[in-house]
């Protein structure tokens, strides 16, 4: 837990040089200023305090006792998607850890009794009462399981649906299960599934997140499965990155690995044995979910000291966001006959968050909608008919905004596209 505390990132915060790499996408990738800002919070609030550099100055002030955790400070700390775009930009030039410092600010706010915002406390109460973030009767959690499913009692792969899929988007689980069945994947369902704990992590409630991590890892061990399979990018990142970060050890040490369904599908389909049955004539752009892209790079635990000029002993590996899951979803979409796949100007590790991340969807829905509309404008400027993503939260956030501001742009999850094409199913209207 010590490695999560703000004081651990004092050097990083004090050595922010104000270069604003955390705000702008490099001009190599984006021409002009229309799509050049990478930080949703800065885009919305138009003040440096609402960017990584402002938050690092705030962190120094708090550690030195020159600033208190006032309502304004909390506003700055929580009106951030924890999307990691700043971290990628900063690390192009420097070995600093802005994102870990932003997360540590929230842990500090919780420990001092001032955070998180009420909407995130409510989610925590829902999880404590029902095991899911929505506070819905948990007896309905598995109602999405189709009668024909071929799940086994024991298998090397355990399917973890997550709260959103189980309660809000069961159709995505049905698509995924149909694909697994059609491809003869041996899988079991995660037993007595409850929340992965992601809401605790983004709220800064590290102790609760640690408890959930331990419980879920113990449940997985009971199944005998060694791979967790998800279709939710948030669950994926939680199992792959947050559990190791919270517990200070890698997934292999804890006896499991994590796969998103796009990784599994690409592994199974890359040799072309299973052919798409229905062409889809659509011009689409793939939206990289933060939690499947730059935030999903495996956690490498480091413990040591920083000396003069920031030299670390022992040497430290920096997660720079370039090893996320970027290629597999693009290859899968490209396999579908008739599809015209376009790239957003802000793509891969430079992708703009959909607006939902970091608890913003629940705590500051207007801010979330603002960012989603920005993304839709980017899509509209490219002339695409649909956005495809690989996370139910991105799908929900972008479709809510599309209904209001760009109704001609459809939003799909990649499992909907794959099951429409491979299994000849209808795309949702």
Is residue 419 at the binding interface for ligand SF4, with CB under 6 A as the rule?
no
Report 52-81 residues binding ligand SF4 (CB under 6 A).
Answer: 52-53, 56, 80-81
- Please list the residues that pair with 228 across neighbouring strands: 158, 258
Q: Which of 21, 116, 162, 359 binds ligand SF4 (CB under 6 A)?
A: 21
**In the complex, least distance from residue 359 CB atom to ligand SF4, rounded to whole angstroms:** 11
Measured N-to-C along each axis, helices 261-269 and 170-182 cross at an angle, to the nearest 10 degrees, of 30
Interface with ligand SF4: number of residues (CB under 6 A)? 28
Based on the shown chain and the rule CB under 6 A, indicate whether residue 204 belongs to the binding site for ligand SF4. no
Q: Which is nearer to ligand SF4, 97 or 193 (CB)?
A: 97
Which CB, 100 or 269, lies closer to ligand SF4?
100
Indicate whether 374 belongs to the interface with ligand SF4 (CB under 6 A). Answer: no
Choose between 170 and 358: whose C-beta lies nearer to ligand SF4: 358
Quote the strand ranges of 195-338, DSSP E.
227-230, 257-260, 282-286, 305-306, 312-313
**Residue of 25, 59, 62, 85 that binds ligand SF4 (CB under 6 A):** 85
Among 8, 10, 20, 214, binds ligand SF4 (CB under 6 A): 20
Q: 110, 140 in Cβ contact below 8 A?
A: no
Which tokens is 316 given?
A: 């430290």
Other beta carbons within 10 angstroms of residue 47's beta carbon come to 11
CB-facing half-sphere around the CA of 290: CA atoms within 13 A: 22
Which CB atom, from 333 or from 353, has the smaller least distance to ligand SF4? 353
3-class SS at 158?
strand
Q: Would you count residue 90 as binding ligand SF4 (CB under 6 A)?
A: yes
Q: What are phi and psi of 50, to 5 degrees?
A: -95, 45
Q: Which of 25, 37, 77, 82 binds ligand SF4 (CB under 6 A)?
A: 82
Choose the binding region for ligand SF4 from 20-28, 66-74, 140-148, 253-261 (rule: CB under 6 A): 20-28
Q: Which is nearer to ligand SF4, 3 or 20 (CB)?
A: 20
- The least distance separating ligand SF4 from the CB of residue 385, rounded to whole angstroms, comes to 28
Contact 214, 195 (CB under 8 A): no
Q: Which positions ≥6 away from 89 have C-beta within 8 Å?
A: 21, 22, 23, 24, 25, 26, 38
Return d(Cα 287, Cα 262) in angstroms, integer: 14
Q: Is 41 in the site for ligand SF4 (CB under 6 A)?
A: yes
Min dist. Cβ of residue 17 to ligand SF4 (A): 5
Nearer residue to ligand SF4 within complex by CB, 89 or 321: 89
In the complex, minimum distance from the CB of residue 91 to ligand SF4, in angstroms, rounded to a whole number: 8
Determine how many CB atoms are found less than 10 A away from the CB of residue 226: 15
296 binds ligand SF4 (CB under 6 A): no
CB-based burial of residue 119 (10 Å sphere; 0-12 exposed, 13-18 middle, 19+ buried)?
Answer: middle
161 makes contact with ligand SF4 (CB under 6 A): no
Q: Tally Cβ neighbours within 10 Å of residue 243.
A: 28
State which of residues 1, 17, 311, 404 lies at the interface with ligand SF4 (CB under 6 A): 17
Q: Residue 203 and residue 358: Cα distance in Å, rounded?
A: 8
Binder among 25, 37, 39, 158 for ligand SF4 (CB under 6 A): 39
Q: Is 350 in the site for ligand SF4 (CB under 6 A)?
A: no
CB-CB contact of 206 with 246 (8 Å):
yes
Contacts of 225 (CB under 8 A, 6+ apart): 154, 155, 156, 157, 158, 188, 256
Out of 6, 16, 173, 259, name the contact with ligand SF4 by CB under 6 A.
16
Choose the binding region for ligand SF4 from 82-90, 139-147, 291-299, 409-417 (rule: CB under 6 A): 82-90
Beta bridge partners of 410: 386
Q: Which residues bind ligand SF4 (CB under 6 A)?
A: 16-22, 38-41, 51-53, 56, 80-86, 89-90, 94, 96, 98, 102
């Amino acid at each position: 837990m010590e490695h999560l505390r703000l004081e651990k990132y004092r050097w990083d915060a004090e050595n922010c040089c104000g270069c604003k790499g955390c705000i702008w996408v490099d001009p190599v990738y984006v021409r002009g200023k229309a799509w050049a800002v990478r930080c949703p919070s800065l885009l919305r609030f138009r003040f440096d305090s609402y960017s990584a550099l402002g938050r690092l100055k705030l962190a120094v002030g708090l550690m030195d006792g020159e600033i208190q955790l006032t309502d304004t400070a909390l506003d700055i700390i929580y009106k951030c998607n924890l999307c990691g775009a700043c971290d990628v930009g900063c690390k192009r030039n420097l070995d600093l850890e802005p994102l870990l410092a932003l997360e540590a600010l929230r842990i500090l706010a919780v420990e001092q009794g001032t955070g998180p915002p009420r909407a995130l406390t409510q989610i925590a109460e829902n999880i404590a009462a029902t095991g899911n973030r929505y506070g819905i009767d948990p007896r309905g959690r598995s109602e999405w399981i189709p009668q024909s499913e071929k799940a086994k009692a024991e298998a090397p792969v355990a399917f973890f649906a997550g709260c959103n899929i189980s309660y809000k988007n069961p159709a995505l689980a049905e698509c995924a299960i149909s694909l697994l069945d059609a491809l003869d994947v041996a899988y079991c369902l995660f037993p007595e599934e409850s929340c992965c704990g992601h809401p605790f992590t983004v709220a800064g409630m590290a102790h609760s997140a640690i408890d959930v991590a331990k419980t879920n890892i113990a449940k997985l061990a009971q199944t005998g499965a060694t791979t967790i399979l998800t279709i939710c990018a948030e669950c994926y990142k939680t199992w792959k990155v947050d559990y190791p970060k919270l517990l200070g050890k890698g997934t292999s040490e804890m006896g499991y690995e994590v796969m998103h369904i796009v990784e599994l599908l690409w592994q199974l389909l890359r040799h072309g044995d299973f052919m798409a049955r229905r062409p889809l004539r659509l011009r689409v752009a793939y939206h990289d979910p933060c939690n499947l892209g730059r935030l999903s790079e495996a956690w490498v635990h480091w413990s040591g000291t920083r000396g003069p000029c920031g030299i670390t002993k022992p040497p430290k590996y920096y997660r720079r966001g370039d090893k996320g899951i970027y290629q597999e979803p693009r290859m899968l979409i490209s396999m579908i006959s008739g599809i015209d796949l376009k790239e957003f100007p802000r793509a891969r590790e430079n992708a703009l968050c959909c607006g939902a991340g970091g608890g913003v969807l629940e705590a500051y829905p207007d801010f979330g909608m603002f960012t989603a509309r920005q993304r839709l404008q980017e899509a509209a400027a490219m002339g695409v008919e649909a956005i495809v993503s690989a996370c139910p939260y991105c799908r929900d956030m972008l479709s809510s905004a599309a209904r209001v501001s760009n109704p001609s742009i459809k939003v799909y999850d990649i499992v909907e596209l794959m099951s429409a094409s491979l299994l000849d199913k209808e795309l949702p209207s």
